[in-house]
Amino acid sequence: MPKKGILERLRDGVVIGDGGFVFALEKRGYVKAGPWTPEAACEHPEAVKQLHREFLRAGSDVMQAFTFYASDDKLENRGHYAQKSLTGKSINKAASKLARDVANEGDALVAGGMCQTPTYLSGIGKEATQKMFQVQLDAFIEEDVDFLICEYFEHVEEAEWAIEVCKKSGKPVAGTMCIGPEGDLHGVTAGECAVRLAKAGADIVGVNCHFDPQISLECISKMKEGLDAAGLKPYLMAQPLAYHTPDCNKQGFIDLPEFPFALEPRICTRWDMHKYARDAYNLGVRYIGGCCGFEAYHVRAIAEELAEERGAKPAGSDKHGMWGQELKMHTKPWVRARANKEYWETTKPATGRPYSASMAKPAGWGITQGNEELKQHAEGTTSDELQHVRDIASSKK
């Protein structure tokens, strides 16, 4: 019996997405921070599969194939040379198969995803950029994924180009941008971005990455206003960071001095995710998932918060009482006393970091597509180039 499709699921209820693969697998030792590309789908399939399984147990309805940044131009960017042994197509096919294997261990769907490209960032134009998307799409079609996700776009123009390519496949398409309430990096407002995504053909519209749950929902709220004003009704989707980012500018967490190796103090708790799930649901978001920083327990918290709406708790809740109930089995009485919702809802966690401030000044270079500094190249970054960017960084302090 065929599985129910993504659009039908969204029509009838709430769909729970998965979490962030590149950050989780970087910590586990399978992904390079910097390039953030998904060779592990070919190199370490068991590790990728295990992560899919964790999200499935946690309640994810979608296994998004691990194909982030798998465009061929990215695989050979700045001395990365992953492209020497692997192509974007081979990664996408392998990743789709892994996702399908695990999806079939439950009732989940498989999504193929693609994102922003160095080609666009370097200003090489529409045709070249769309070719990057087409290659990736071909792999997804061959593997017959259930739907497509065009995500992590900083410029709505590039997102439109991706959606345009994907729409030709006839499969449902989701389009999300890594923007906040201030809009895209070319200055297009969040509301206008949403309208343009929908008009380009996205059945599902929203945001992913770059901002924390609360700020992402602020952005979606603005997107919704824009869509309502334009009389458009795509489904809404949120896949935010699991990092608190109250101090970000429009470039998001990339600009924070802690990115990417000192973000730990910003990691959201499971209780932050209860709030996120409820707020997203109340705002009308029906595809609720996560991006970088989201691990299985964050997704499970979404599923537990929405257990009533969804009619069931996820499999992984067999190891987790709602709101800390299993603490009743702890040996220490003062920990047993914490087995209740009120305790966890009101605790403001101490940071254990007396030498840390709560907010940071983002790097704030304020450059975007079209700027010379952003042109990409296949060769490795030279010492001179490195000194050049360090000099600029110093001058901006």
Q: Which 49-78 positions form the footprint of its own copies (CB under 8 A)?
A: 50, 53-54, 57-58, 77-78
In the bound state with its own copies, the residue whose beta carbon lies nearer, of 76 and 146, is 76
In the bound state with its own copies, the residue whose beta carbon lies nearer, of 123 and 321, is 321
Is 209 annotated as belonging to a binding site?
Answer: yes
In the bound state with its own copies, the residue whose beta carbon lies nearer, of 65 and 268, is 268
For the chain, the helix, strand and coil percentages under 3-state DSSP, each to the nearest 5: 50, 10, 40
Q: Which of 181, 189, 286 is nearest to 233 (CA)?
A: 286
Site for its own copies in 7-26 (CB under 8 A): 26
Q: Closest distance between its own copies and the C-beta of residue 195, in Å?
A: 27
Q: Which of 93, 266, 274, 286 binds its own copies (CB under 8 A)?
A: 266
Contact (Cβ atoms closer than 8 angstroms) between residue 200 and residue 168: no
Return the DSSP state at 120.
Answer: H
Where are the alpha helices (H) located in 34-155, listed in sequence order?
Answer: 40-43, 45-58, 72-75, 88-103, 118-121, 126-142
Contact (Cβ atoms closer than 8 angstroms) between residue 68 and residue 36: yes
Site for its own copies in 150-209 (CB under 8 A): none
In the bound state with its own copies, the residue whose beta carbon lies nearer, of 150 and 205, is 150
CA distance 172 to 186: 27
Q: Closest distance between its own copies and the C-beta of residue 301, in Å?
A: 10
In the bound state with its own copies, the residue whose beta carbon lies nearer, of 75 and 173, is 75
Site for its own copies in 298-317 (CB under 8 A): 300, 316
Q: Closest distance between its own copies and the C-beta of residue 294, in Å?
A: 11
Per the DSSP assignment, residues forming a β-bridge with 173 are 148
Site for its own copies in 337-356 (CB under 8 A): 337-340, 344, 347-356
Annotate each residue in 115-154 with x if it binds its own copies (CB under 8 A) or - if it does not, as one string: ---x--x---------------------------------
Q: How far is CA 171 from CA 117, 145, 207, 279, 379, in A?
A: 22, 9, 20, 29, 36
Annotate each residue in 218-257 with x if it binds its own copies (CB under 8 A) or - if it does not, as one string: -------------------------xxxxx------xxxx
Identity of the residue numbered 245: T
| β 62-64/15-16 pair status | unpaired
Identity of the residue numbered 145: V
Q: Closest distance between its own copies and the C-beta of residue 287, in Å?
A: 21
Site for its own copies in 357-396 (CB under 8 A): 357-361, 363, 365, 367, 373-374, 376, 380-381, 385-386, 389-390, 392-393
Which pairs with CB-CB distance under 8 Å and at least 24 residues apart come from 102-107?
102/49, 102/52, 102/53, 102/56, 102/63, 103/52, 103/56, 103/63, 105/53, 105/56, 106/56, 106/315, 107/3, 107/61
Q: Which of 8, 12, 33, 370 binds its own copies (CB under 8 A)?
A: 33
Q: Closest distance between its own copies and the C-beta of residue 292, in Å?
A: 14
Q: Which of 5, 106, 123, 321 binds its own copies (CB under 8 A)?
A: 321
Q: Closest distance between its own copies and the C-beta of residue 362, in Å?
A: 9
In the bound state with its own copies, the residue whose beta carbon lies nearer, of 104 and 347, is 347
Number of H helices, E strands in the chain: 17, 8
Site for its own copies in 75-104 (CB under 8 A): 77-80
Furthest CA-CA distance within the chain: 65
Task: Indicate whether 319 belongs to the interface with its own copies (CB under 8 A).
Answer: yes
Q: Which of 191, 185, 242, 186 is nearest to 215 (CA)?
A: 242
CA distance 300 to 276: 12
CA distance 397 to 337: 47
Q: Closest distance between its own copies and the C-beta of residue 28, in Å?
A: 5
Q: Closest distance between its own copies and the C-beta of residue 162, in Å?
A: 17
Is 292 annotated as belonging to a binding site?
Answer: yes
Contact (Cβ atoms closer than 8 angstroms) between residue 156 and residue 196: yes
Q: Closest distance between its own copies and the C-beta of residue 221, in Å?
A: 18
Q: Which of 271, 280, 286, 292 binds its own copies (CB under 8 A)?
A: 271
Binding-site sequence positions for Zn(2+): 209, 291-292
Binding-site sequence positions: 209, 291-292
